Amino acid sequence: MADCNETLRELEPFIDGEISDEAREHIHGHLGACVDCQQAFEFHLELREAVRRKASNDELPASLVAKLEVCLRDDFDGDGVVGNGGSDESASVR
Ligand SMILES: [Zn+2]
Protein backbone atom coordinates (compact mmCIF):
# COMPACT_ATOMS: atom_id res chain seq x y z
CA MET A 1 0.00 0.00 0.00
CA ALA A 2 1.18 3.53 -0.71
CA ASP A 3 2.22 5.74 2.19
CA CYS A 4 0.95 9.28 2.85
CA ASN A 5 3.79 11.07 1.07
CA GLU A 6 3.41 8.99 -2.04
CA THR A 7 -0.36 9.34 -1.99
CA LEU A 8 -0.24 13.12 -1.67
CA ARG A 9 2.37 13.35 -4.41
CA GLU A 10 0.22 11.28 -6.74
CA LEU A 11 -3.11 12.93 -5.93
CA GLU A 12 -3.17 15.23 -8.94
CA PRO A 13 -2.24 12.57 -11.51
CA PHE A 14 -4.62 10.21 -9.70
CA ILE A 15 -7.50 12.65 -10.17
CA ASP A 16 -6.45 13.19 -13.76
CA GLY A 17 -6.24 9.46 -14.38
CA GLU A 18 -2.65 9.90 -15.51
CA ILE A 19 -1.10 7.12 -13.46
CA SER A 20 -0.78 3.39 -14.04
CA ASP A 21 -3.49 0.99 -12.94
CA GLU A 22 -1.13 -0.39 -10.34
CA ALA A 23 -0.39 3.04 -8.86
CA ARG A 24 -4.08 3.87 -8.87
CA GLU A 25 -4.82 0.70 -6.91
CA HIS A 26 -2.20 1.69 -4.33
CA ILE A 27 -3.55 5.23 -3.97
CA HIS A 28 -7.12 4.01 -3.84
CA GLY A 29 -6.25 1.47 -1.17
CA HIS A 30 -4.52 4.12 0.90
CA LEU A 31 -7.39 6.59 0.57
CA GLY A 32 -9.74 3.93 1.88
CA ALA A 33 -7.64 3.51 4.99
CA CYS A 34 -6.29 7.00 5.74
CA VAL A 35 -8.62 9.83 6.77
CA ASP A 36 -5.95 12.50 6.36
CA CYS A 37 -5.31 11.59 2.75
CA GLN A 38 -9.04 11.20 2.12
CA GLN A 39 -9.55 14.80 3.25
CA ALA A 40 -6.67 15.98 1.11
CA PHE A 41 -8.19 14.13 -1.81
CA GLU A 42 -11.59 15.73 -1.27
CA PHE A 43 -9.94 19.12 -0.99
CA HIS A 44 -8.22 18.60 -4.32
CA LEU A 45 -11.56 17.72 -5.87
CA GLU A 46 -13.12 20.87 -4.43
CA LEU A 47 -10.19 22.87 -5.71
CA ARG A 48 -10.71 21.44 -9.19
CA GLU A 49 -14.38 22.30 -9.03
CA ALA A 50 -13.60 25.83 -7.86
CA VAL A 51 -11.09 26.44 -10.63
CA ARG A 52 -13.49 25.02 -13.20
CA ARG A 53 -16.36 27.18 -11.98
CA LYS A 54 -14.21 30.28 -11.75
CA ALA A 55 -13.09 29.71 -15.34
CA SER A 56 -16.74 29.71 -16.41
CA ASN A 57 -17.61 32.64 -14.12
CA ASP A 58 -20.02 30.65 -11.98
CA GLU A 59 -20.69 31.78 -8.44
CA LEU A 60 -18.71 29.89 -5.83
CA PRO A 61 -20.17 29.17 -2.40
CA ALA A 62 -18.65 31.67 0.05
CA SER A 63 -17.74 28.85 2.40
CA LEU A 64 -15.73 27.14 -0.31
CA VAL A 65 -13.98 30.36 -1.33
CA ALA A 66 -13.05 31.04 2.30
CA LYS A 67 -11.74 27.52 2.72
CA LEU A 68 -9.64 27.76 -0.42
CA GLU A 69 -8.25 31.15 0.54
CA VAL A 70 -7.19 29.87 3.93
CA CYS A 71 -5.57 26.78 2.46
CA LEU A 72 -3.88 28.58 -0.41
CA ARG A 73 -3.15 31.73 1.60
CA ASP A 74 -4.37 33.70 -1.36
CA ASP A 75 -7.10 36.22 -2.08
CA PHE A 76 -9.01 33.89 -4.35
CA ASP A 77 -12.13 35.97 -5.06
CA GLY A 78 -10.35 39.33 -5.21
CA ASP A 79 -12.25 40.94 -2.34
CA GLY A 80 -9.04 41.92 -0.55
CA VAL A 81 -9.68 39.45 2.25
CA VAL A 82 -8.14 36.03 2.72
CA GLY A 83 -10.73 33.76 4.30
CA ASN A 84 -14.03 35.04 5.65
CA GLY A 85 -12.64 38.34 6.86
CA GLY A 86 -13.43 39.87 10.25
CA SER A 87 -12.09 37.54 12.89
CA ASP A 88 -9.33 35.57 11.25
CA GLU A 89 -8.84 33.28 14.22
CA SER A 90 -9.73 30.29 12.11
CA ALA A 91 -7.35 31.32 9.33
CA SER A 92 -4.35 30.40 11.43
CA VAL A 93 -5.71 26.98 12.34
CA ARG A 94 -5.84 24.21 9.83
ZN1 LIG B 1 -2.34 8.88 4.25
Q: pLDDT tens, 50-61?
A: 888 888 888 878
| 67 CB neighbour count, 10 Å cutoff | 19
Cα 2 to chain center, whole Å?
Answer: 19
Residue 29, C-beta contacts closer than 8 angstroms, at least 6 positions apart: 1, 2
In the reported structure, the alpha carbon of residue 7 is separated from the centroid of ligand 1 by a whole-number distance in angstroms of: 7
So what's the pLDDT on residue 88? 47
| 81 CB neighbour count, 10 Å cutoff | 16
In the reported structure, the alpha carbon of residue 90 is separated from the centroid of ligand 1 by a whole-number distance in angstroms of: 24
Query: Is the whole model's pTM more than 0.85, yes or no?
Result: no
Tell me the average pLDDT of the chain: 83
In the reported structure, the alpha carbon of residue 52 is separated from the centroid of ligand 1 by a whole-number distance in angstroms of: 26
